[in-house]
Structure 1
């Protein structure tokens, strides 16, 4: 059986809001260590990985490993029914085909208790009572306590019982075939930590100019640039650690300079996780996808992986690196054409090469004797 109780239910709502537009259906994996998700977008360009550790839940019970397939948009609709301060409980039976979401809505004075103001409220009641004319009882020590005989008829427990609201929603599970990818730990050329709101603002501003963003990290700082039909834009953020609040700092760790290009529509989708954390971590390496990470309170993280786009210069370099036979016009004879016996082993390695144009050109320019020989074979 699975039973998870999260006091900060709003965290789960924010998590779903950040991924539901990127991933439609996904499996939530539950184990003794925590509640996790890993899924790719429909284009298989971006990947999202979520982890909520078991220690972050008020109550966590998972008798055995369980995978629950859910439609994230439907799950987000149900979580929208929960209030801002609601306690969210998730329940599922082993082998069942449904999952239950239960929302406990504290109200009235209970809100003060959950916000840590219960003690402050009690202190105020005592202070007010000290100014009221009440009987005075002398203690054995000779001290006077004006509230010694005060007995409040108000009951917090009665108020809680009267004002609590509990709602439960049941959703059908789905059978989703998904492959869990092993993501190894990697050394990145540059790691940038900056305010998440600032990163979201940069991506939003640049998307009004162009479709891609070039993220360049040098000793001077991190630069975000784009180019579009109406012009260009460049935003440079320098390292800044001398701030009053640590969350406002921009920290850059660079092993070597790096510059990569990414699609802004994906970056803007990632920034929907901004309400989860005041800081975002961007990890860059020329041979790896970028990792955009947001902490989920003290209980876990949500990471977005995105492959870089190839620049035009890279595409031209790849075209120049192709074999010379591809550059020759179709009508130009190939003098040094290799026999088919030497080409055949290469075709066995890559089956897609059988349909390449250069093979047809090689057989077409051969002598009549060579053609007859191939026919006999």
Structure 2
């Protein structure tokens, strides 16, 4: 299944200011970007961009061997066929290292150009997760429509249809509860529920989520993580060929 490939076999690109993770099968798949802030890492040494093919299932097994307070160091060399994860306990009385084989992938990096988006929607992350979860019960795709009246999430399937409309918040006590819409022109795009559901697993990291949309470019789902940076997911919209 394509979703299994997405979850277990990404292509990781290590840069001086963060990590990119994308699947290596097709550019229509989602991928994410995690640049780190000043509080995220103690130190780095990466004098050039480095591409590594990692199996997330294998990497997950390695990270299960660590503790919550451990510091992790990731080390790799140019043209190496392995990557090393070193975990050091908070009091430095325990150091563990694990070596993982890299995947030999021949895939060009998918770049996302800077875009002036037609619609930018900021809303509570928990509300977005709830909408995606609820609509996923009715259909396999979610249509997101942004207009001057607000943003509409809709889907349909064998059991019926569902629609959720959000208007821009005029008055709010807490900023994290606000719904803010910046629109240059209306946009309506369709996305696969399974990937949106995967993105919402980042909900505990941030109070708000930002959705940025334009025709013919991927949707950007962004979570701002206090003191650490931000996590961005990119997802290409579905087209008629995908739906048929």
Fold-level similarity (TM above 0.5): yes
Q: Aligned with 2:34: secondary structure?
A: strand
Q: CA deviation at 1:95?
A: 4.5
Query: Do structure 1's residue 28 and structure 2's residue 15 form an aligned pair?
Result: no
- Structure 2 match to 1:197: 126
Distance 2:49 2:24 in 1: 25
CA offset digits 1:239-264 (Å, max 9, x no partner): 22633332222111111222222221
- Structure 2 residue runs of 5 or longer lacking an equivalent are none
Q: CA deviation at 1:54?
A: 7.2
- Structure 2 match to 1:37: 20
Q: Aligned with 1:188: secondary structure?
A: coil
Contact 1:54 1:60 in 2 (8 A): no
Contact 2:124 2:178 in 1 (8 A): yes
- Work out the number of aligned pairs and report it: 240
Match of 1:245 among 147, 171, 174: 174
Q: Of Structure 1 and Structure 2, which has the larger fraction of its residues in strand?
A: 2
Distance 2:47 2:210 in 1: 34
CA offset digits 1:35-87 (Å, max 9, x no partner): 32242364542231313247441111124443332112211221122222322
Distance 1:308 1:94 in 2: 35
Q: CA deviation at 1:190?
A: 0.9
Query: Do structure 1's residue 74 and structure 2's residue 3 form an aligned pair?
Result: no
**Radius of gyration: which is bigger?**
1
Q: CA deviation at 1:178?
A: 1.6
Match of 2:238 among 309, 328, 332: 309
Q: CA deviation at 1:191?
A: 0.7
Contact 2:219 2:234 in 1 (8 A): yes
Match of 2:196 among 267, 270, 276: 267
CA offset digits 1:194-244 (Å, max 9, x no partner): 111211111110011112211111222111111122222111122226333
Q: Residues 297, 48 of structure 1: CA spacing in aligned structure 2 closer, same or farther, 3 A cutoff? A: farther
- Structure 2 match to 1:277: 206
Q: Residues 309, 174 of structure 1: CA spacing in aligned structure 2 closer, same or farther, 3 A cutoff? A: closer
User: How is 1:287-298 mapped onto 2 (pairs within 5 angstroms)?
Assistant: 287-298=216-227
Query: Do structure 1's residue 102 and structure 2's residue 102 form an aligned pair?
Result: no
Q: Of Structure 1 and Structure 2, which has the larger fraction of its residues in helix?
A: 1
- Structure 1 residue runs of 5 or longer lacking an equivalent are 1-18, 107-159, 316-377
Q: Which of structure 1's runs of 4+ aligned residues deviate more than 4 A?
A: none
User: How is 1:317-328 mapped onto 2 (pairs within 5 angstroms)?
Assistant: none
Q: Aligned with 1:201: secondary structure?
A: helix
RMSD of the TM alignment (CA)? 2.8
Q: Residues 241, 247 of structure 1: CA spacing in aligned structure 2 closer, same or farther, 3 A cutoff? A: farther
Q: TM-score, normalization: structure 2?
A: 0.84
Q: Aligned with 2:6: secondary structure?
A: coil
